[in-house]
């Protein structure tokens, strides 16, 4: 019994979304509940006619065919179930929410669709769901729901086949309430379990250019409550904007979308989603074999105001004869939308260009950062034809926290085992200088950590360090003063003025030589026709004399001069120099500017300590 309808493009998009979100109800049923307009194309009765109507009317069309519906001890007859699945969901939502049945079985549901021509090309295809079974349904709650399999035939674009999808307990009424399709549902209700034990047995995608094997997936529990704005109302809003042909929404439309967005992020939560991964093979544009593989993927559980962390492992991309990129793992940390939603709620829906200009940064969510491990790549350098990028990174991490008006006040980042091969034929001046020193590969790492402390109005640069294998290490630390909350102000002028008022309270530099000095001094000695000891001695004398001149020959100057001499002559392999402002407030921009013209004044501004070992 085919039933065909036409709907604006937005309805087919909703169809795709619903198909991914639910295994209990065929997605087309919800999609067909989109608000209808008088301009809708006439009903047609076959996929071929639907395609013709699509080209004529410029709209998406789809038809649904359900040959058989089998029910056992059901309080809903076959005709009503068929009506629900073919466009009458809204008319029978209350009945469906109270469904009782020993079982309901639908051997096959076929959805045929046709899309409006895009770039002169129309698209048509077919989706077939097989063996849809609901068991032991009591008052709208099924003990289990399963779809035995599904297939998608998109014609020349390719095809999908999906294995079994199933859940344990599934609350049909709860899902309908979430979508706003049953009366009496209130957003004040607490979250309730909608389904448990979702499982997907994998599938396969085949297209002219590629073939992919899709792994299994699972999710233990999904909870939700009714939304304040139904999906039907949201779709009506979107269609109204589309019909108006104006890309800029009105203030009222913005208010409605903001309200939906703020409510939606609080309306559900879930346990982590586990996906075993996928493997794809295909060909590149120039005909080379390509393989792409992604191992297990974990999407953390959704919770109030939070978009969860996503982690993927065992990522491999290879273009035969061209290059490869591998990642042991990559992690995108969670987003916290609490501050975003607070700003939207404070706006009272009165969001316009003026409000956005003044409050735009408040809409930035708190992003936790990202990380990866085991990066290994060898690929062509697209910016330098003929050259390749050969590099590996053991691990990288960026952690962001304590957001203030969209700016993270706590930042930490680290990278280890960065290995980069330097191309011998590179035209880059910096690379050529390193090659001249005999360095054809960089093996390095770094650490950075900075934290703003509001009570003391300081920023602690806890660690800014770099290290190179067989070369050396450099570490910086210090304290920045007068870092008031105005530094994070929404007003740019206020923030700029606060930045200009920052001071340096203390600073420390630690240097370790693990071989770089020998390389540099040997190069200098060769160029100057001297021995390495002669070059070291000359430089240590200049550095020591400069320290004495700047600090006036006092105890601080003597310490610094002696430490520099010991380090530069090679008698010591590490050097530590610290400086603390004598003024508790620190050295501000005026004092630092004055030192540029009168460096001799440094001794009156700071206390210096230095050691070499």
Instruction: Render 252-292 in DSSP notation, one character per residue.
Output: HHHHHHHHHHHHHTTSEEEPPEEE--EEEEEE-TTS-EEEE
Q: What is the chain's length?
A: 613
Q: Under DSSP, is residue 563 helix (H, G, I), strand (E, B) or coil?
A: helix
Give ∠ CA 453-456-458 in degrees, rounded to 5: 55
pTM (two decimals): 0.83
At 384-429, the pLDDT tens digits run 787 888 899 999 999 999 999 999 999 999 999 999 888 777 777 7
> Which value, to the nearest 10 degrees, does the dihedral of the CA atoms of residues 425, 427, 430, 432 take?
40
How far, in Å, CA of 348 to CA of 400, rounded?
29
**Quick one: which of 74, 78, 70, 6 has its CA closest to 44?**
6
| Highest mean pLDDT pick, 51-55, 232-236, 488-492 | 488-492
Task: Report pLDDT for 120.
Answer: 65
What share of the chain has pLDDT > 70, as a percent? 89
The answer, yes or no, to whether residue 540 has pLDDT greater than 60, is yes
Task: Report the 10 Å Cβ neighbour count for 81.
Answer: 24
**Residue 88 DSSP SS3:** helix
What sign has the CA pseudo-torsion 598, 601, 605, 610? Answer: positive
pLDDT for 324-334, tens place per residue? 999 999 999 99
Residue-level pLDDT at 122:
65
Q: Which helix (H) or strand (E) holds 149?
A: strand 141-153
Confidence of residue 45 (pLDDT cuts 50, 70, 90): very low
Cβ contacts of 88 within 8 Å, gap of 6 or more: none
Give the whole-number percent of the chain exceeding pLDDT 90. Answer: 57
Please, what sign has the CA dihedral across residues 427, 433, 435, 440?
Answer: negative
Q: Given the DSSP bridges, would you call strands 297-299 and 310-319 parallel, antiparallel or unpaired? A: antiparallel
DSSP assignments along 8-21, one per residue: -HHHHHHHHHHHHH
**Which residues, 6 or more positions from 552, have their beta carbon under 8 angstroms from its beta carbon?**
600, 603
Q: Which pLDDT score is estimated for 22? A: 42
pLDDT for res 382: 82
Using CA atoms, how far residue 341 sits from 258, 259, 367, in Å, is: 9, 9, 14
155-169 pLDDT tens trace: 888 899 999 999 999
> What pLDDT shows up at residue 58?
55
Identify the band that residue 56 occupies on the pLDDT scale cut at 50, 70 and 90: very low
Q: Helices 231-244 and 251-264: crossing angle, nearest 10°?
A: 150
pLDDT at residue 36, as a whole number:
37
Q: Are 544 and 564 in contact (CB under 8 A)?
A: yes
Report which of 292, 323, 316 is spatially closest to residue 388, judged by C-alpha positions.
323
Q: How far apart are the first and last CA of the chain?
A: 88
Domain boundaries, the chain: 382-612
Confidence (pLDDT) at 596: 83
- Report, as an integer, the average pLDDT of 465-488: 95
Lowest mean pLDDT among 28-37, 138-147, 543-552: 28-37
pLDDT tens per residue, range 340-383: 989 988 887 778 888 888 988 999 999 999 999 999 999 988 88
Q: What is the pLDDT of residue 280?
A: 96
């Amino acid at each position: 019994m085919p039933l065909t309808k036409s709907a604006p493009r937005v309805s087919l998009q909703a169809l795709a979304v619903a198909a991914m979100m639910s295994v209990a109800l065929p997605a087309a049923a919800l999609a067909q509940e989109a608000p209808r307009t008088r301009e809708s194309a006439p009903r047609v009765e076959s996929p071929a006619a639907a395609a013709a109507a699509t080209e004529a009317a410029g709209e998406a069309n789809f038809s649904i065919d359900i040959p058989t519906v089998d029910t056992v001890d059901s309080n809903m007859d076959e005709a009503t179930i068929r009506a629900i699945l073919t466009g009458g969901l809204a008319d029978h939502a209350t009945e469906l929410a109270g469904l009782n049945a020993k079982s309901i079985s639908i051997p096959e549901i076929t959805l045929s669709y046709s899309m409006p021509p895009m770039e002169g090309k129309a698209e048509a295809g077919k989706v077939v769901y097989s063996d849809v079974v609901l068991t032991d349904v009591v008052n709208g709650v099924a003990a289990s729901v399963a779809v035995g399999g599904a297939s998608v035939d998109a014609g020349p674009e390719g095809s999908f086949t999906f294995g079994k999808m199933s859940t344990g307990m599934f609350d049909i009424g709860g899902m309908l309430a979430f979508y706003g399709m049953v009366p009496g549902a209130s957003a004040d209700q607490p979250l309730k379990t909608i389904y448990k034990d979702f499982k997907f047995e994998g599938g396969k995608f085949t297209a002219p250019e590629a073939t992919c094997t899709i792994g299994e997936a699972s999710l233990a529990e999904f909870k939700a409550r009714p939304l304040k704005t139904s999906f039907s109302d949201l779709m009506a809003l979107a269609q109204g904007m589309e019909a108006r042909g104006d890309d800029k929404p009105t203030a009222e439309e913005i208010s409605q979308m903001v309200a939906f967005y703020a409510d939606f992020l609080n309306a559900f939560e879930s346990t982590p989603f586990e996906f075993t991964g996928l493997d794809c093979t295909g060909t590149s544009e120039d005909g080379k074999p390509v393989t792409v593989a992604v191992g297990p993927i974990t999407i953390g559980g959704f919770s109030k105001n939070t978009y969860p962390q996503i982690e993927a492992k065992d990522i491999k991309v290879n273009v035969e004869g061209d290059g490869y990129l591998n990642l042991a793992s990559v992690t995108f940390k969670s987003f916290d939308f609490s501050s975003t939603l607070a700003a939207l709620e404070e706006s009272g829906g009165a969001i316009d260009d003026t409000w956005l200009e003044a409050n735009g940064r408040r809409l930035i969510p708190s992003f936790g950062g990202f990380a990866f491990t085991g990066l290994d790549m060898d690929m062509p350098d697209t910016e330098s034809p003929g050259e390749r990028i050969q590099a590996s990174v053991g691990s990288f991490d960026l952690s962001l926290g304590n957001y203030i008006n969209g700016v993270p006040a706590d930042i930490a980042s680290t990278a280890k085992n960065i290995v980069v091969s330097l191309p011998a034929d590179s035209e880059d001046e910096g690379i050529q200088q390193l090659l001249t020193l005999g360095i054809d590969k960089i093996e390095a790492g770094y650490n950075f950590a900075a934290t703003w402390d509001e009570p003391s109005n300081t920023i602690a640069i806890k660690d800014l360090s770099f290290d190179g294998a067989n070369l050396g290490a450099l570490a910086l630390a210090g304290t920045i003063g007068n870092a008031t909350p105005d530094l994070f102000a929404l007003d740019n002028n206020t923030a700029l003025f606060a930045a200009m008022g920052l001071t340096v309270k203390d600073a420390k530099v630690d240097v370790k030589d693990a071989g770089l000095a020998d390389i540099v001094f040997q190069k200098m000695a060769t160029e100057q026709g001297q021995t390495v000891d002669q070059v070291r001695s000359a430089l240590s004398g200049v550095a020591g004399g400069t320290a004495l001149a700047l600090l006036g020959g006092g105890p601080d100057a003597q310490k610094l001069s002696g430490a520099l001499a010991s380090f530069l002559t090679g008698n010591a392999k590490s050097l530590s120099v610290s400086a603390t402002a004598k003024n508790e407030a620190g050295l501000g921009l005026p004092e630092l500017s004055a030192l540029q013209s009168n460096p001799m004044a440094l001794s009156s501004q700071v206390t210096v300590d230095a050691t070499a070992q």
